Each structure stands twice: as structure tokens, then as C-alpha cells.
Amino acid sequence: MIKAGIVGGTGYTGVELLRILARHPDVAITAVTSRADAGVRVDTVYPSLRKLVDVSFSQPDIDTLADCDVVFFATPNGTAMQMAEALLERGVKVIDLSADFRLQDVKEWQQWYGMTHACPDLIKHAVYGLPEVNRAAIQQAQLIACPGCYPTAVQLGFLPLLEQGLIDSDHLIADVKSGVSGAGRKAELATLMSETGESFKAYAVSGHRHLPEISQGLSLAAGQAVQLTFVPHLTPMIRGIHATLYARLQVGAENIQALYEQRYQNEAFVDVLPQGAHPDTRNVRGSNNCQIALHQPQGGNTLVILSVIDNLVKGASGQAVQNMNLMFGLAETTGLEIVALYP
């Protein structure tokens, strides 16, 4: 059994990890940390985990976590980088769900995240954990930088076109909507349901922290720098990401539906819908799936790609477990064959 630890077990992504790992046939949850709830049983704080998780929250202590085979960081930005090096030196694999190791340019990271990176030399050893792109590297990795929720939906939507050079990479648009759980489990006026309900708004239009991460991934796929306009929106729902992506097709680009179907035909968690379909976030809610559909309005040269995921699963904790499975030589789908919740 893989001994797994979770740092930050009381946030939404931490609880989602507990939900998934509690039913994983090859995992034993041996450590779950929370400074505020140290000493309290996990299933006391989250009764949904009764009879599934038999541990108490503990302090985030390196010696305790070093007994694990893998440690997940479901923590705010800036936490994993304080502990990752010590755990790696003790032979523990690290999967970071925050942004600490996602950007290869440390100066750019510091600019966007407003802090000095604690272990910049470790960044080059981190593997970006998007399995549909980096599967082979993930299998050999000791440190995984799990993608953000927006970057997952956007990259999976654009990748096949950029890889084949079929779109104008200087004019990409990502118009993306997220449920309020993407803001994390904290008390903030702007994300209270009574504030977000019956309302809809864009935010961070001048620049969102996920923009450089998305641009980095798309540029690697294209083999050159891309120009992306990324506008996130907050919607009055709890879970879900809906990305509406716009791209100008190059002359001669055709059979786009077949291209997507072939690119993702062996991907267990990417489902290319029939051309003209309209994916709905509720059809992936609670699952590790990404559903994609393609549209070419009025037969013009603008392609519209619709990409939907659950921000807490494929956009975070499910993808983290997908990475863990690859790192430990397990079937990639182990513990993740979760049917979406409906309604």
C-alpha cells in the first residue's frame, strides 16, 4: 500500500483528496495535517468520511510526513516550497496542488505571486502534472506541479490545434467561468453565496495569476510564444469550469473533429463530444473528466472550443491522484473511475 499524507486537509482540495483516496485500493491515508484542527479526528470535522478515514489531523511536521511514500500539498501558494526540499531529501514523492512549482521562470513567478521563492533551484526538477502532455516524465518524477483548474481546461481545449500548427497563435481568446469553490474554503465577502447568487461577473481582467501558466503550456505546445487573452468569470455555482475558447483557423485547416478524436482517443479522462454538442458542467461534476466540443459558427474561420471540467477534481485533486498513479506504476484510472453526479 502507498502511504499517503495530505498537508492542508481542511480546504476544498484537501477534502476532495480525502474523498478520492479513501476509496483508492492501493492507498493508505497515514497523515493529514491542519494547524487549526490538530488532534481532532478527520471524520469528526467531515462526517461524510466516517468509516473511511481513521486518522486525526496533525501538525505539518516533517518527521511525521517523512514516513509517507507521497505527500500532497493542498495548501495556499507559498507553503509547499517551504517543505518540499526536506521531504524529497527523505525520499518522499511530492505532489503540489498549489502554484509553487508551476512556472519555470522564477522571476515571473515572484512577480505574479508577490513573494520570494524559497527554493528556486528545485523548480527545474518539477514536472508539470498534465498527464495528457507529460505522461512519460510524470512516471519518473519525484516532484509534481499540479496544473491549476483554469489552465487544465484551457490547455486541453487548445492543445491539438497548437500541436499541429492549425491556428493563429497570436490571437487566442479564453473566456472562462468558474464556480465559487475555485476561490478556496475561506470566508471572503466576494465569494459568499448570498453575494454571488443571482449575479455573474468577470474579474482579474487586467491579469490573472493563471495567465502565465496557461501561456507557458500553450507556448510549449506551439513551439513558439503565443498571445492569449484570458478573462475569468465567477458564476453562482459551487463546482465547475466552463471554458469557451476562440481561435482563428489557418488556411487549409480541416477535419478538426477527427483531429481531436485522434489526439484524445487513448485518454481516459478526455471525452470529445460529437461535433456541435454543448458540454454542461453538471455532466462532469464530481468526476475526473474533461468534455470538449467544437463549433465553427457560420462555417467561418473562427473555431469555438468548449471545454468543461470539475475544478476540484480534474482541475485539482483528481488530477493529483492521476499523477500519483503514474508515479507509482499503477493504472492511471485507479480510484478515479467516478461517474459524474446528476442532477
User: How large is the average pLDDT for residues 148-167?
Assistant: 97
Q: What number is the average pLDDT over the span 318-339? A: 98
Residue of higher predicted confidence among 183 and 41: 41
Q: State how far the Cα of 10 lies from the Cα of 207, in Å rounded to an integer.
A: 29
pLDDT at 110: 97
- pLDDT in the model for residue 186: 65
What are the tens digits of pLDDT across the range 9-30? 999 999 999 999 999 999 999 9
Q: Considering only 62-66, 147-151, 162-166, 182-186, which range has the smallest mean pLDDT?
A: 182-186
User: pLDDT tens digits for 223-236?
Assistant: 999 999 999 999 99
* Fold match, 2-125 / 149-311: no
pLDDT in tens, 183-214: 776 656 767 777 777 888 999 999 999 999 99
pLDDT at 199: 87
* CATH number for region 2-125: 3.40.50.720
Distance CA 165, CA 222 (A): 7
Contacts of 67 (CB under 8 A, 6+ apart): 3, 30, 31
Q: What is the pLDDT of residue 5?
A: 98
pLDDT at 39 over 80: yes
Spans of all domains in the chain: 2-125, 149-311
The pLDDT value given to residue 187: 59
Per-chain mean pLDDT for the chain: 95
CATH fold of 149-311, please?
Answer: Dihydrodipicolinate Reductase; domain 2 (3.30.360)
Query: Residues 6 or more apart from 265 whose CB is under 8 A from it?
Result: none
Q: What is the 3-state secondary structure of 211-264? A: HHHHHHHHHHHHCCCCCEEEEEEECCCCCCEEEEEEEEECCCCCCHHHHHHHHC
Question: For residue 62, what is its C-alpha cell?
Answer: 516533517
63-67, 152-156, 158-162, 248-252: least confidently modelled range? 248-252
| Residue (of 96, 92, 58, 104) closest to 77 by Cα position | 96
- State the amino acid at position 225 in one-letter form: A
Residue 219, judged by CB atoms within 10 A of its CB (0-12, 13-18, 19+), counts as middle
Active site residues: 149
Alpha-carbon distance of 16 to 122, in angstroms, equals: 27
Tell whether the model's pLDDT for residue 339 goes beyond 80: yes
